[in-house]
Amino acid sequence: MLDGDAKGPAERLRELNEAGRDAQMSKHRDRTFVFVPTWNIETWLAYLNGMTVDETNRHYPRLARQRECQEHVDELVEMCRHGGLRQPAPPSLVAACEEYHRLTSAH
């Protein structure tokens, strides 16, 4: 998990892949989930709380405790399993669900 920040998810993934090649590391992408929220994970958590989010906004509320995200994770897994993200879904979260499907359907 890494944030896209000002570069965006696609560029951050490109950088990650390039760094792996430069370090002559095997990515093992067939077994590794890589998720890139545009600015931060709080955007996804706000979406999973029922908010309509805008990925150009980087300021969404943080959880009081990190462990409070478990209910959000469970909801996201269910949405991804059933291919039913509530619309409008953040594009970076759509990409994460596609990554989830790619890896879970390959095994």
Question: Residue 9 above 70 pLDDT?
Answer: yes
Confidence of residue 30 (pLDDT cuts 50, 70, 90): low
> For residue 70, what pLDDT is reported?
92
Tokens standing for residue 50: 């029922």
**Whole-model pTM over 0.85:** no
Share of residues in the chain with pLDDT > 90 (%): 32
Domain ranges of the chain: 5-105
Tens of pLDDT along 56-98? 998 999 999 888 899 998 998 888 888 789 999 999 999 888 8
- How far apart are alpha carbons 103 and 73 in whole angstroms? 17
Question: Residue 107 above 80 pLDDT?
Answer: no
Is 68 in contact with 95 (CB distance < 8 Å)? no
Alpha helices in the chain (DSSP H): 9-22, 41-48, 70-81, 91-105
